A and B are shown apart, each in its own frame.
Chain A
């Protein structure tokens, strides 16, 4: 065997090895591919394609229906007008997620849409926790119903208090517009602030068997009756803090933009209260009162969050961020309270966030 033959053989064996190598790699890749394809196929059969495709087609339709030049009973392209009497009247109760989604999409050409809600704006509720500590402002997470839906027939600021199902009528207690009527009454300069929270109390009283008692004088002023063809009832929920004694009176809620505003003010005031001279150890001579002052200071800035759902968890996280920024950092305005601020999360389940039972 000469050198040339040896090199030839070596070359061939190398080629062979590289072939085997490549084959191996190919096999590996194809194996992983097929297995992942299998997994993917598994997932793909699980996804409800029918629903997804229909949803996609619906969205296409929405796009064409929204910008087709037809709004408020007027067809701008054909120059036709749909008279008010021919359009169905839809009364929407509420201005939350469901109502907002409805109003945004419903055609104002075919329908007369009247929105009834005690608040004149939609709130992007996942940001309530952020707004309570000032990460975002209230104005950023709210959208005025009238501004975002200029073509709806009307917006009525008020609260639905009764419904006549047979006659297709709904009674609405109008909100008192205190600032402008204040001028009328001669108290313009001291009129109650419009943004001052109205208590979320019902106008409806119930007797023992759960039947509503109506105040006879209530109908005298401020109640209007709206007739409808369709009533969209999306009034939503309110805090159910009444199940714990004292919770209704002493707990802050986080359901509306006013709630987050109020909580933000309260947190600011709590920090200010803890900074008052009468709660600083420095001013007290003896050990006992020093300890009392410290405990009182720590109490003032201890925040308890009740409920470990998404809202409770987000609020706790946001509060921690907030305290880190204003107390723990070296240039924070409340760094003297670094040791005192604390957040507590009380949860009834054995794990945070919703889980299956």
Chain B
């Protein structure tokens, strides 16, 4: 019950070797890993856990407990859903959206005025060779791509109230703008639906080792684990920073930690 793996889609699957590598690495560092175990109860100085298969409970005295298991939409989402028609509610308190990130609205006039992005948007996608469609995972990658996608749609001036969103018809006074010519030449008078391009997963596992799973769409390119993967992990995270100021700060932080902590 307690760790509901909601995002079990193919594109968010980590390679089996990498998973066992993560487990081995953590165990070799002395982390006591309890698999198939549920958290039953938390008190100020102890936690109660239960092995799933055997049902044997155990009380472990702890100093600090950190919750990194499940997330749920913030209360505002409930408030928003109460204003929307019943078909807007998706599983786990999320909001159903169409291929252009629009959620259903009570009236036709307001359709397209509310766009839902990120973890709270429930968007299904179908992949090559798949017969069933699956919800997109709740990850930063998905959220970032959705944000950029919607920004582009609004920049280009698509009329969001029609399906699919289309460029408005030209007024006489309006000359052909460069952007419009560019879009028409790309065949984008109608807005393209959102396509998620999975780039894989990076995770740090301690002792200057990391896991890399690099992929394009649903095609895995390579899987690495270890020191080389750690170098890639750090370079990607450094490159991903939005400002060069933060890049400098992080590079310096890493250097400082390498020399000495505290």
Contacts and interface: CB of A to CB of B under 8 A. Distances in A.
Given A166-B110, A232-B115, A348-B37, A321 B206 contact: yes
A28 B5 CA distance: 47
Interface stretch (A15-23, A179-187, A217-225, A241-249): A241-249
B118 A352 contact: no
Interface residues of B, number: 128
Nearest to A317: B206
Contacts of A312: 68-69
A302 B36 contact: no
B36 A202 contact: no
Nearest to A160: B76
Given A211-B82, A212-B79, A313-B26, A165 B3 contact: no
B71 interface: yes
B115 A101 contact: no
A84 interface: no
Contacts of A326: 261-262
Number of chain A interface residues as a range: 35 or more
Interface in B143-198: 143-148, 150-152, 154-155, 157, 160, 179, 182, 186, 192, 195, 197
B86 interface: no
A127 B251 CA distance: 13
Q: Which of A200, A243, A306, A318 has the most CB of B within 10 A?
A: A306
A314 B240 contact: no
B39 A317 contact: no
Given A136-B254, A165-B110, A236 B41 contact: no
Interface in B87-111: 95, 103, 105-107, 110
B64 A165 contact: no
A36 interface: no
Contact of A320 (B30, B73, B201): B30
Interface stretch (A6-14, A49-57, A190-198, A280-288): A49-57
B77 A353 contact: no
B117 interface: yes
A166 B138 CA distance: 29
A313 B203 contact: yes
Interface in A57-99: 57-58, 61-62, 65, 88, 90, 93-94, 96-99
A300 B62 CA distance: 6
Interface string B188-216: 00001001010001111111100100001
A168 B110 contact: yes
10 contacts: A101-B144, A134-B261, A160-B76, A230-B112, A237-B72, A250-B42, A250-B65, A270-B64, A315-B66, A354-B13
A307 B95 CA distance: 25
Interface in A27-60: 43, 46-48, 51-52, 54-55, 57-58
A136 to B, nearest CB: 4
A45 B25 CA distance: 36
Nearest to A97: B143
A126 B140 contact: yes
Given A43-B219, A98-B147, A270-B63, A250 B74 contact: no
A139 interface: yes
Q: Which of B68, B71, B145, B186 has the most CB of A within 10 A?
A: B68
B229 interface: no
A210 interface: yes
A111 B156 CA distance: 11
A240 interface: yes
Interface in B28-48: 29-45, 47
B67 A204 contact: no
A97 B118 contact: yes
Nearest to A242: B72
Interface of B: 1-3, 5, 7-10, 12-14, 16, 18-20, 22-23, 25-26, 29-45, 47, 49, 52, 60-80, 82-84, 95, 103, 105-107, 110, 112-120, 128, 137-138, 140, 143-148, 150-152, 154-155, 157, 160, 179, 182, 186, 192, 195, 197, 201-208, 211, 216-219, 237, 240-243, 246, 249-250, 252-254, 257, 261-262
B14 to A, nearest CB: 4
B24 to A, nearest CB: 10
Interface in A229-277: 229-241, 243-247, 249-255, 263, 266-267, 270, 273-274
A29 B43 CA distance: 66
Nearest to A167: B110
B134 to A, nearest CB: 10
Given A141-B250, A309-B68, A299 B30 contact: no
Contact of A106 (B95, B146, B155, B217): B155
A355 B13 contact: yes
A313 to B, nearest CB: 6
Given A99-B147, A244-B39, A317 B63 contact: no
A285 B195 CA distance: 69
A250 B115 CA distance: 36
Nearest to A142: B246
